[in-house]
Amino acid sequence: MNTIKDKEYGGERPLYASHDLRLENVTIHVGESSIKESSNIEAENCTFEGKYVFWEVDGFKVHRCHFAESARSSLWYSRNCTMTDCTCDAPKLFRRMKGIHVENTDFPNGEQFLWDCEDIQMKNVHIENCDYIFMHSHNIRLDNYRQDGNYGFQYAKNVEIHNAIINSKDAFWEAENVTIYDSELNGEYLAWYGKNIRLVRCHLTGEQLLCYVDGLILEDCTFGDDANLNFEYSTVNGNIKGDIVSIKNPTSGTIVVEGKCGELIWDENQKAPANAKVIQSKI
């Protein structure tokens, strides 16, 4: 592997079509496509200021690097990326990629992140301003994750999340095969039209949560004081720890409320088979 140290580049395609290359303390100034169409790249303590840095790259590792705000759209159409201990101010990262592993990195400008990506692992990651993150992405595993941005995980499939705080209106809309453990989910209209959604020891806040869900499982979850009109037209099985403000027209299944349901609504708008059961241990 060749090594380049303590250099600066700019303009268009300065390291285009590079292979088996290590960069140390290198700065890529404003320009375009600096490392496009490359493979087996390592970068440590580097700064990226130009756009479209890692496009069509197969196999690259970035460690303790900085992506400036001007380095927008820097990771697209690539495979097998590992990012650790980086600082990233650039928006629109990770698009149509496969094989993404990120640890110990914060993204303060997560606009349009992680669209149409596959095989994603993230640990100790915080992403802000990230509306529509993970849209149409598959095979996602997150641990110690925090998200601040709406409409996350729309149309996502095969998602496993541990120890997260997700602040996102309309999160998991039409998502499929989602399991979330020991996490806090804050926002309205959670997982509407989802399929196979399992929540384990989670705390949920927001209005009209978990409606139109096909195959919802709750295990020892808690609901905030603002969580009303939940489960409408959903098939639900599981238990709720403590109280819940209201439940409205679940379609089928059994919900055990280990506390008190403030309002239980069964009206003429129930959908077949309309045989759901709500069992309250405190009335």
At residue 263, the pLDDT reads 92
At residue 270, the pLDDT reads 86
User: The tokens 């209209």 sit on which residue?
Assistant: 189
At residue 231, the pLDDT reads 97
Q: What is the pTM of this model?
A: 0.95
Q: Which two tokens stand for residue 80?
A: 């097998």
DSSP state of 230: B
Mean pLDDT, the chain cut into blocks of 10 residues (283 residues total): 95 96 97 96 98 97 98 97 97 97 97 96 97 97 97 98 97 98 97 98 97 98 96 97 95 95 90 90 68
Instruction: Select from 188, 151, 193, 199 the least CA-distant residue to 176.
Output: 193
At residue 281, the pLDDT reads 80
Percentages of the chain per state (helix, strand, coil), in multiples of 5: 0, 55, 45
At residue 283, the pLDDT reads 56
Q: How far is CA 180 from the centre of its chain?
A: 11
Long-range contacts of the stretch 24-28 (C-beta < 8 A, 24+): 28/53
Rounded distance between C-alpha atoms, residue 86 and residue 96, angstroms: 21
CB 114 within 8 A of CB 131: no
Integer CA distances (angstroms), 114 to 90, 99, 126, in order: 13, 12, 14
Rounded distance between C-alpha atoms, residue 167 and residue 187, angstroms: 6
DSSP 31-68: EE-TT-S-EEEEEES-EE-SBS-EES-EEEEEES-EE-
Tell me: cis bond preceding 273? Omega within 30 of 0 counts. yes
